[in-house]
Structure 1
Amino acid sequence: MSPQHTPTGGTVGEVGEFGLIRAVTEGRAQPPTTLLGPGDDAAVVAAADGRIVASTDVLVQGVHFRLDWSTPDLVGRKAVAVNLADIAAMGATPTAVLVGLACPGDTGADVIKELTDGMWAEASRAGAGVVGGDVVRADQLVVSVTALGELGGRPPVTRSGARPGDIVAVNGRLGWAAAGLAVLGRGFRSPVSVVKAQRAPEPEYAAGPAAAKAGATAMIDVSDGLLADLGHIAESSEVGIDVRTERIEVHQRLVEVGKALGADPMAWVLTGGEDHALAATFPSFADLPDGWARIGSVTMPDSGVTVDGTAYEGGTGWQHWR
C-alpha cells in the first residue's frame, strides 16, 4: 500500500469512495492468475481449463460478527475464509476474490483499512488475489465476498456423489468456533485459542484439491455444523451417513472449556458451525490424504444422518431465520 494513501484517521465519508478504494488496493501483490486487477471496470482472472468455480457469502454486522468481540482485520480474514473454504470444498484451488463493502459514512477509515488488510492477508494465504469489488453507503457494516477458483482439469466434487460403503472423513478442527462463541457469549475473552477460532477460522485450502485427487466422491464445507452439513450430502446423494464418536478426538482444550461452562464439548463438535473444516466421502479402498481422518461411513438410502447408529437428539446445526 502506498503510504500517501494510507488512512490515518477520519471517516470513510471524509476520505471518499475513490480515496478509500486507492487506500485498500494500491501497492498490493497479485498471484499469477490475476491478469488484470483492481482499477478497471472489471478484473481478468485466468481460468486454465476454461471453467471457473464461484461462490458468494454475505456477512452482516451483529449477525455474523461483532466488532466488540473481534477486530476489523480478523473480520476481514473470516469474510474471505468462509468463501474460499467453499471453493476448496469443490476440489478447486482458490484464485481470486471480489469484495462488496457497505458501511455508514461515519465509519472510521482506519477500520476499513484494517478490515481489508485482513482480507488481503487471508487471500494471500490461499494463493488468491483480491481483484476488485465495490463500496457503498449503508446503515450498518456488511461485507460480501465472491470467491473464484479453478479445478486444474479435474471434475468438481459435488455433494451428490456419495455411495453406500464409502467412508466419511474430515479435515480441520471441529467444535472450536462453537466453543469460542460460547466463551464470548458469557462475556469472557479466553482461552485465546478457542476465541480466535470463532473470530477467524483457518481452513486448510489445499485439503480440498488433495481430496479430489484422492478420489473423493462428495465433499462439503462444514459451516453450519458437522451433522447438518453431512445431512446435505446425504440428501443430495440419497444415502445415509453414520458418524462414530469413538473416531472423533475431542481436544483437551474443548473438554476444559466445556467443563468450565457446563457444556458438552461433543455437542460443539457435532453441531457447532463456523470452523470451516472440510467433510468428504471416499471409496472404501481409498488412501486418505494427509490431514484427513475417518469419522464414519455412508449407509443405505433413507437412513438419514445418525450418530453411533441412532438418531441424534437435538439440533444438528445453524439455520438462518431460526
Structure 2
Amino acid sequence: MAGYRKDFDYSDAIAATQDAGKRQQLLAERQNKIDAEGLAGKVASNDAVSTWNGAYRPYSVSSTKSGGHAVSRLYDAAETARLRRFEAARERIRQQLSGQLSAIETDYTAGMRQTDINARQSAVSNAEKLAALGLNMGAAQAAATSGAAESSRIALDNRYRSDLNALGQARLSARAAAQSAAADREAALEGDYYAASESAALQQAQAQLTQFNADRDYSLSVAGLTGFLNGTPTLAWREYQSNISGDTQARAYEQALARWKNTGYVLQQDAAILGVPAGTPTVDASYKNASLALQRWKAGYGY
C-alpha cells in the first residue's frame, strides 16, 4: 500500500498550505489513507478537501461528475440489453433455418419412399397389362422377353429416374431458398443493430462533451470561490496573496517610519524594515527618502 502518515491531519495541512506541489503530495497521501483505512464516505472526499483554503472548508463539493458516471452506466446498460436482443433474434433465425432444413429433408425422404412405391406399383401394373396381352415382362434382373417388355421396362426406368431427379432438385432449391431468406433476415438484423449502436455512440459522445463542458464550468466556478483548481492555486489567488503580502509590508513600513519620526531615530527592530542602520536620525537624508518611498508605494508604484 502506498505510504501515508497514520496520525497526521492531512485536511488541516492542505487547508494551511498555499504551495501547489505540497498540496498535491498531501492530497495523494490523504487518498492513500482513505483507501487503506476504508474511510470513503466517512470523511470529506479529496475533491472537497482540494478546495479547502484557510477557514474555507466545505465538507462536500457537488459536481456534475457523478451524474456523468450515472449517464454513462445507463448507456452501457442499454448497449448490453440491445446486444442481448440482437443475439436472441439471431439465434431465433438460426433455429428457424434449422427447422426448415430438417423439414425439407423429411419431405425429401418421404418423397423418395413414395417414388419407390410408385415405381414398384407401375412395374406391377405394366406386367399385368402385358400379361393380358399374352406377353411376359420377364424377371426383374433378366433380359426382356419381348420388344414390348423392353420398351415398357425402359419407360418405367426413365420415369423413375426423372422423379428422383425432380425430388433432388426440389430439395436443393428449397434448402437454398431457406438459407438465403435466413441470411437476408440476419443481414437486416445486423444492419439495424449496428445502426442503433452507432446512433447510441454518437449520442453518448455528445452527452460526454456536454458533461465535459459542465464539469469544466463547474470546476472554474469552484476555483473562483476557493482559489484552487484541482488543488492548484489559481492565478487570481496568487495575485490576491501577493497583494496581501504587499499591503502587509506597506503597513509595516509605514508603522516603522512613524516610530522613526516619533523617536527621532531608527529603532533596532525597524532597521531591517526600513533598510537603514539602527540609530539613524530623522535629520538624515534617508528619512526623507523613506517618506518619499512610502508615498510612492501607496500610489502603486512599488518600493
Higher RCO (Cα < 8 Å, 6 or more apart)? 1
Which TM class, normalised by the smaller chain length? under 0.3
Structure with the bigger percentage of helix? 2
Which one has a bigger Cα radius of gyration?
2
Structure with the bigger percentage of strand? 1
TM-score (norm 2): 0.19
